Amino acid sequence: MGGVVFLITISVSGLLALLVPAVLVAIAHSEIELATEMLLLFAVGAFVAVAVVTALSGRVKQTERAFTYLALVGVWTVTPVIGAIIFMVLADLHLMPAWFEAVGALTTSGASVLVRENAPKGLLVWRTMTEWYGGFLTLASIIHVLAPAGFGGVQGSSRLLSTNPGEGLFKLQTYSTLALQYSLMTGLIFLGLMLFGVKPLEAVMLGMISAATGGFLPFSGPLEENIGRGAATIMAFGLCLGTMSVFWRRQILRRPRHIFQNNLEAKIVVAVIVALTIAYAVRIADVSGGPLRGTLIAALQEGFFTACSLVATSGIETRPGVIALLPSIVVLAIVFVGAGVYSTTGGVKVFRIGAMWIYTVAELNRLIYPNSVDRLKFGDLAIERQSMQAIWTYFIIAILVVGTGAMLIALTATGFEAAIVMSVAFFSNASPVYDALRPIASDAVVSDWPSFQTLPQSVTYLLAIAIMTIGRLEVLVIFAVLNIRYWYNR
C-alpha cells in the first residue's frame, strides 16, 4: 500500500504546486486576500506532502499490478477531493459544487459552476491550470498504466510503453519526456495566440485549455468576441493536435513526410475533421445569408474550429448556437467516439470503433468462406481475438454506464432528452456540449434542461462526478478495482 499512497501524494503535490503561479497572478492583480488564502493552502498541503514522501522515500519499489490499478483509481479520486477543498476555500462553494468543479477540471471535461464575470484572475488561472494538469494526468495514466495492461483493447509498441504497469511509476524521470512534449505544445499555442493579439494571461490560459482539449473558458461571452477569429483558428489547430496520439505528435518532428504512414487512426480523425468543417461551413454560410467570399472564409474558419472542438471532445463554441447547427444525434455520436487513443480526448476512441468494424466485416466474410484465415490489422496494429474481447467488453460497459447515468439523471434533475445529452457529455468529458445543445430558452426548458449551477446538489452532482471519472479512467479499471472477491481472498 505504500506505493499507492506515494503515487497519490505525488499527484496531489502537483496540484498544490499550481497554486504558486496562481498566487503571483493574484498579487499582480491586487487580489491580496485570495493570494493569502492560496499561500496558506499551499503551505499546509506542502508540509503534509513532504512529510508523507519523506516517510516513504526509499521504501517504495515496483508494486503488484492490482495495486497499480488501485493507485490509479486513488489518484483520480483523492486528487479531485483535495481540489474540491481548495475550491471551497477560494471560490466559497459548497462541498458538492466544489467537488463537481474539481472533477470537471481534472478530467478536462470543462464542467463548471463558477461565475466568470466577476471571478478573480488568480482563481481563473488556477482553475485553468488544474484542467491543464488533468490533461497531463490523463496521458500519464493511459501511457504508463492503462495501455500496458491492455485495458479496453488498447495496444502499443513495447518500445514506447512499459511491459509492466508498475515499472518506473515511482521515478519522476518516467514522466519527463511526456511533460516536455506537453509543455512544448502548450507553449507553441501560446505563442500563436500572442501573435494574433491575445493578452498574455489569456493566451497562457487558452493555450493550456487547447493542449488539454478542455472545455473551460476563463471569460464570459462568446470566444470569437473575446480573442478574434484568427486567434480562434490557432486554438482550433491546438485542439486538432490534441486529438492525435502523443506518439503521432512526436513523429511530426522526426518524420514529417511519413506522419500518416500506417497510421489509420490519424487518417480517420483528420478525415472526420475535414468532413465536419465542410458540413458546418455550409450550415454557417446558409444561416449567415449566402456564400459571399468573406462569409465563406469566415464560415470555413468557424466550421474548422467547431469540428476540432467536437472531435477533441472539448465542446467550446465560437459563439452560441454553432454546434447545434447539426442534428443533436450527430453531435453526440462524434463526442461519444472521440479521437486518438493516446490523447487527452474523451469518448470510446476511433481505434476501438475501427477495430470493431474490421472484425465485424471479417466475421461476416466467414459466413461465406468459413475456412478463411485473415490477418486483421488496423493500420499497423494487429487485431487479435483477445483484444477484440476487451474492446467489446469496454464498449458494452460504456453503453451501460451512459444509459444508466441518463436514467438516473432523468429521475433526479432533468427531462429525458437533456439527461441523455448530459450523460454522453459527462462520459465523453465534453460537458459544454450539454449547454450547446440546449433548446431556445423557455419555462419548460429551464425546468427540464437546468444549468450546472442549478442541479440538485445531493444526487445529481454525485452522478456527474461518477460518470466523468469513469469515462476518464477508461471504464474497466474502475470495475477491476471494485472486484471485492479478489481483495477479500488476498
Domain ranges in the chain are 2-184
| CA dist., res. 209 & res. 132, Å (int) | 6
Q: At how many degrees (to 10) do helices 32-56 and 121-141 cross?
A: 30
Cell for 420? Answer: 441523455
pLDDT-based confidence at 256, cuts 50/70/90?
A: low
Q: In the predicted model, is pLDDT for residue 59 greater than 70?
A: no
Residue 136: pLDDT band by 50, 70, 90 thresholds? Answer: very high
The C-alpha cell 513495447 sits at 158
Look at 389 and 100; give whichever has higher pLDDT.
Answer: 100
Find the mean pLDDT for residues 349-375: 79
pLDDT of residue 250: 63
Answer with the residue of higher pLDDT: 360 or 168: 360
Contact 378, 264 (CB under 8 A): yes
pLDDT confidence of residue 126: 94
Residue 14 CA: distances (Å) to CA of 66, 172, 336? 24, 12, 30
Cα 184 to the center of its chain, rounded Å: 19
Residue 161's pLDDT is what? 45
pLDDT for residue 317:
92
In this model, does residue 207 exceed pLDDT 70?
Answer: yes
Query: Would the pLDDT of 24 be above 80?
Result: yes
The confidence score (pLDDT) of residue 39 equals 95
Q: Which of 461, 383, 429, 469 is nearest to 78 (CA)?
A: 469
Read off the pLDDT of residues 449-488 as tens digits, 9 standing for 90 and up: 888 988 877 789 999 999 999 988 876 666 665 655 544 4
Quick one: pLDDT at residue 150? 64
**67-81, 241-255, 294-308: the lowest-pLDDT one:** 241-255
Higher local confidence (pLDDT), 337 or 290: 337
Query: b/e per residue, 321-335, with b = 16+ CB within 10 A?
Result: ebbbbbebeebbebb
* Average pLDDT in the chain: 84
Kindly indicate the confidence band of residue 258, based on its pLDDT and cuts at 50, 70 and 90.
Answer: low
Q: In the 3-class helix/strand/coil scheme, how is the chain assigned residue by residue?
A: CHHHHHHHHHHHHHHHHCHHHHHHHHHHCCCHHHHHHHHHHHHHHHHHHHHHHHHHCCCCCCCCHHHHHHHHHHHHHHHHHHHHHHHHHHCCCCHHHHHHHHHHHHCCCCCCCCCCCCCCHHHHHHHHHHHHHHHHHHHHHHHHHHHHHCHHHCCCCCCCCCCCCCCCCCCHHHHHHHHHHHHHHHHHHHHHHHHCCCCHHHHHHHHHHHHCCCCCCCCCCCHHHHHCHHHHHHHHHHHHHHCCCHHHHHHHHHCHHHCCCCCHHHHHHHHHHHHHHHHHHHHHHHHHCCCCHHHHHHHHHHHHHHHHHHHCCCCCCCCCCCHHHCCHHHHHHHHHHCCCCCCCCCCCCHHHHHHHHHHHHHHHHHHHCCCCCCCCEECCEECCHHHHHHHHHHHHHHHHHHHHHHHHHHHHCCCHHHHHHHHHHHHCCCCHHHHHCCCCCCHHHHHHCCCHHHCCCCCHHHHHHHHHHHHHCCCHHHHHHCCHHHHHCC
Average pLDDT over residues 327-344: 91
pLDDT score, position 263: 76
pLDDT, position 162 = 47
Partners of 378 in beta bridges: 381
Q: What is the pLDDT of residue 159?
A: 41
Structure confidence at residue 367 (pLDDT)? 78
What's residue 308's pLDDT?
Answer: 95
pLDDT band of residue 420 (cuts 50, 70, 90) is very high
Question: In this predicted structure, what is the pLDDT of residue 388?
Answer: 81
Between residues 242 and 148, the one the model is more confident about: 242
**Of 46-60, 167-181, 294-308, which gets the smallest average pLDDT?**
167-181
State the pLDDT at residue 385: 75
What local confidence, expressed as pLDDT, does residue 158 receive?
Answer: 38
Grid cell, residue 84, equals 474540491
- In tens, the pLDDT along 25-41 reads 999 999 999 999 999 99
Round to the nearest angstrom and report the end-to-end CA distance of the chain: 13
Q: At residue 489, does pLDDT exceed 70? A: no
Q: What percent of the chain has pLDDT over 70?
A: 82
Contact between 349 and 342 under an 8 Å Cβ cutoff? The reply is: no
